[in-house]
Amino acid sequence: MSKSTSSKLSPITLALILSVLITLTTYILRGLGILGFIPGSVILLLMTISIFLGIFYGISVTRRF
């Protein structure tokens, strides 16, 4: 018999997906001129957060415990 596994996302995975979606949405809307009032440093901060979460996610996935 096969056991059904529910695919629940870990909190770090959800944080990574959310940060990447917010970053891409902000970047695209700023490029279209809709969010033109947002400074470039905010975009860089969002990208930095996404990169750090991606690194942290990669480290947490490869742990064996």
Q: What is the tens place of the pLDDT at every residue in 21-49?
A: 999 999 999 999 999 999 999 999 999 99
> Do residues 16 and 57 lie in contact, with contact meaning Cβ atoms separated by under 8 Å?
yes
Would the pLDDT of 61 be above 70? yes
Any idea which residue has 């996935």 for tokens?
Answer: 61
> Do residues 38 and 30 lie in contact, with contact meaning Cβ atoms separated by under 8 Å?
yes
State if pTM tops 0.75.
Answer: yes
The residue-averaged pLDDT of 16-25 equals: 97
* Amino acid 7: pLDDT: 74
Would the pLDDT of 9 be above 90? no
**Structure tokens belonging to residue 53:** 């979460």
CA distances from 20 to 2, 47, 48 (A): 35, 8, 10
* Amino acid 39: pLDDT: 94
